[in-house]
Amino acid sequence: MRARSVLAVLLLAAAVRAPFWAFAARASVDGDTAIVGLMARHPTRGITMWGQPYGSPVDGWIAAPFVAGLGPRPLAVRIPYALLALALVAAAAVLGEIAVAGAGLPAALLVACPSAYVLLLSALPPPLYPTTLVLLAAVLALAARAAEDFGAAAPPARGRLILIGLLSGLAVWTHLMSLATLAAVGMVLARGAGRARARGVLLWALVAFLAASAPWWLSAWREPSATAVLGIAHEGTPPLAHAAMVARRLHEPVAALLGLWSPLTADEGERTVAAPLVVGAVLVVAWLAGAIVGWASLRGRPLAGLLLGAIALTIAAFPFPVRSDPHTVRFLTPIVVPLAVLAAAGAVRLAGPARAWLVVIPLCVAHLWTGARLLAEWHRGGPEALVPDCARVLDLMREQHLVRAYASYHTAYCLTYTSGETVMASPPWNERFWGYPMPYLDEVRFASRVGWVLVPGVDFQLPARHTFESKLAGIGARYARRDAAPAAVYFDFVPPFASRTAPGAVAGPAGDGDVATRVVEPSGSAAFALGRPLAVAGVTLLAGPSAPALPRAMDIEVSSDGSTFERVGRRQRGRETTDLAWVNGHPQFLVDDLAFSIALDGRVVTAVRIAPTESGPWAVAEVLLHPVATGTESAHPSDEGGSWAERRAALAARPDPVDAGWLYRSLLALRHP
């Protein structure tokens, strides 16, 4: 296969995708793509896709030079995926030529003019998928050569085996959907090594694989949620019920990959386009005939097992993960290149090497029919119908001089990336993996002036606007609201009690104004007497910088006479994303056990009691009482950037141990290295 032929096919692939790329260049970034851009800005931070217990930073590494050169623009993270789409075409050409002389060009053509869904992935892909597909195609090509070496009774070069292991490990680290293809590779290589009586040489590949995938399997060992994507049952349902449901409709995602239909975006099942019935029939017959003839022509060679194994195992595994659905076509994308190579081999068998490319042209044309329909639907709705834009919200936040905000997943990371991190936003809790750390949450919690952004139809689990406003009213809040349709932005919150606290109200470590000292209780309740009766507008509890923290479930009780206690507040397990509280001058959902606050009615208090409703050790660093009359509030700027060490130094330079906000920010700063 001549280099000029490959270049011509790459130019064709670029021409076919150019209208899709042009549309994507005008679209904003969704949450996942924005995270890739943020990882590109910080390529050495983290070993997963930020905020998720899975994935790798490889996408961020690939995008890093583009983000550095172009800045935090959507285009900077679109270009790498466009280049990966072309790399997949080149990989199909290489693998096709390995299969049969003359099959490289038709295989490349089939990937250059693919189904509408693959065109979608070249322009608006979910991150991790394009990278994984290129890695798997490279592994298949290398494994095909290695298997042929075993067949010739000549063990493969050590470097080739190490490279197979490294790329395989990188693929697993990036996305676990690669396991099916790699299982086929492993079986074929093990069989070849066994026949050549050279199984020991595979240790080079195995060691390289374990080294390259170590960030994933070490994370999985420490954090079980790293394997959550492999779960096969929803909680409370039989293990195989979900798999059975998906298996009954398995023809739907397979049909999408063959070009019969496509969703408008990678993950949805509502808005779709479909090929005409006649075109669909042609696609099914052509693909099946080409693949069957191709497999027959390769039968007896290790490559036949590689290609067929990768396809069969990927399809067989598809129904089992709970994240699979009839519309999650992306989990089947590892079969794109193997299927194209089989069909190309079939074309060579039917028409000969010189004319094989003519056989696949009708298939390419049929693909583009549905692709044109997909592009037309994109233009009909416009970019914002596919990817919600955060530009209006960002403009409003800048107008109001807001640099920190709570928002749902897509809006939060879109704001953070497109602003170049001059604005930082975070979901108030991890909406996908409960409890898994998020990169910007403490940046927002540390700020004393923040906004809340609610976007109907885009938010995952955040409350609706009327619900949020009811919650604010329920805890005595006042606020300003501005709309940036369809979003509502809340800011300038006025808490029901001031941040100032009564100095020395509680004796001992729980009232010394130092969050590094604390009272630790092995179990049971603890009462804290005040030095004098005090009219109280609110109570704030702060944990220390290390475990144990505040009780996850507890009653807060107060006494006016020191002997009779009345419950005035309650924290219940399971309501972390339901109950708002005032901390650091703004409303928060208290998803961890660092702080808790309640507003009181100005009653006179002589003692406060913390009564856990679950057993176990707990600790409190500060029991803070907010008097009814507090005088003038002091200002403590907290939105400046810098490292956490610099923030600790700034806080130490302006000590104010009777300010609840200063104490809370000190606590957050102590928790970061």
Compute the C-alpha angle 33/35/36, nearest 5°: 65
Residue 641 lies in a domain: no
What is the DSSP secondary structure assignment for residue 100, as one 8-state letter? S
Q: How confident is the model over 99-117, as a mean pLDDT?
A: 95
Q: What confidence category does residue 630 fall into, taking pLDDT thresholds of 50, 70 and 90?
A: low
Structural domain ending residue among the three candidates 494, 517, 536: 494
Sign of dihedral through CA atoms 201, 204, 207, 212? negative
At 356-407, the pLDDT tens digits run 989 999 999 999 999 999 999 999 999 999 999 999 999 999 999 999 999 9
Percent of the residues in the chain that have a pLDDT greater than 70, as a whole number: 96
Q: How confident is the model over 282-304, as a mean pLDDT?
A: 92
Q: How confident is the model over 463-479, as a mean pLDDT?
A: 92
Do 395 and 311 fall into the same domain? no
Instruction: Write down the pLDDT at residue 634.
Output: 47
Do 371 and 446 fall into the same domain? no
Give the whole-angstrom CA distance, residue 453 versus residue 648: 28
pLDDT at residue 219 greater than cutoff 90? no
Q: Which residues contact 485 (CB under 8 A, 6 or more apart)?
A: 392
Do 379 and 400 fall into the same domain? no
Do 290 and 410 fall into the same domain? no
Do 351 and 430 fall into the same domain? no
Euclidean distance between the first and the last CA atom of the chain, given in angstroms as a whole number: 56
Do 361 and 395 fall into the same domain? no
Instruction: Write down the pLDDT at residue 637.
Output: 55
Give the whole-angstrom CA distance, residue 232 versus residue 407: 31
Instruction: Write down the pLDDT at residue 551.
Output: 96
Do 377 and 397 fall into the same domain? no
Residue 664 lies in a domain: no
Q: What confidence category does residue 457 fall into, taking pLDDT thresholds of 50, 70 and 90?
A: confident
Residue 640 lies in a domain: no
Residue 8 lies in a domain: yes
Instruction: Write down the pLDDT at residue 238.
Output: 80
Do 420 and 440 fall into the same domain? yes
Q: How confident is the model over 247-263, as a mean pLDDT?
A: 95
Q: Taking the C-alpha atoms of 290, 294, 296 and 298 in order, what is their torsion angle to the nearest 10 degrees? A: 180
Residue 654 lies in a domain: no
Do 12 and 159 fall into the same domain? yes
At 135-162, the pLDDT tens digits run 999 999 999 999 988 877 778 889 999 9
pLDDT at residue 633 greater than cutoff 60? no
**Do the bridges between strand 424-426 and strand 404-406 make them parallel or antiparallel, or are there none, so unpaired?**
parallel
Do 401 and 345 fall into the same domain? no
Residue 297 lies in a domain: yes
Q: What confidence category does residue 673 fall into, taking pLDDT thresholds of 50, 70 and 90?
A: confident
Residue 521 lies in a domain: yes
At 506-534, the pLDDT tens digits run 999 999 999 999 999 998 999 999 999 99
Q: What confidence category does residue 225 fall into, taking pLDDT thresholds of 50, 70 and 90?
A: low
**Do the bridges between strand 404-406 and strand 451-454 make them parallel or antiparallel, or are there none, so unpaired?**
parallel
pTM value is 0.92
Pair 9, 112: CB distance under 8 Å: yes
Structure tokens at 247: 């298996």
pLDDT at residue 639 greater than cutoff 70? no
Residue 670 lies in a domain: no
Do 113 and 39 fall into the same domain? yes
Domain hosting 301: range is 3-383
Structural domain ending residue among the three candidates 325, 355, 383: 383
Give the whole-angstrom CA distance, residue 572 versus residue 558: 18
Q: How confident is the model over 15-20, as a mean pLDDT?
A: 97
At 543-569, the pLDDT tens digits run 999 999 999 999 999 999 988 999 999
pLDDT at residue 631 greater than cutoff 70? no
Backbone angles phi, psi at 142, to 5 degrees: -65, -40
How long is the chain?
Answer: 673
At 51-82, the pLDDT tens digits run 888 899 999 999 999 999 999 999 999 999 99
Question: What mean pLDDT value characterizes the chain?
Answer: 92
Give me the number of domains the chain comprises.
Answer: 3
Assign residue 532 the CATH number of its domain. Answer: 2.60.120.260
Instruction: Write down the pLDDT at residue 632.
Output: 44
Do 34 and 139 fall into the same domain? yes
Nearest Cα neighbor of 654 from 672, 671, 637 is: 637
Nearest Cα neighbor of 455 from 394, 399, 401, 402 is: 394
Backbone angles phi, psi at 618, to 5 degrees: -150, 170
Q: What confidence category does residue 200 fall into, taking pLDDT thresholds of 50, 70 and 90?
A: confident
Give Cα 554 to chain centroid, integer Å: 33
Give the whole-angstrom CA distance, residue 475 versus residue 489: 19
Structural domain ending residue among the three candidates 353, 383, 413: 383
Instruction: Write down the pLDDT at residue 628.
Output: 92
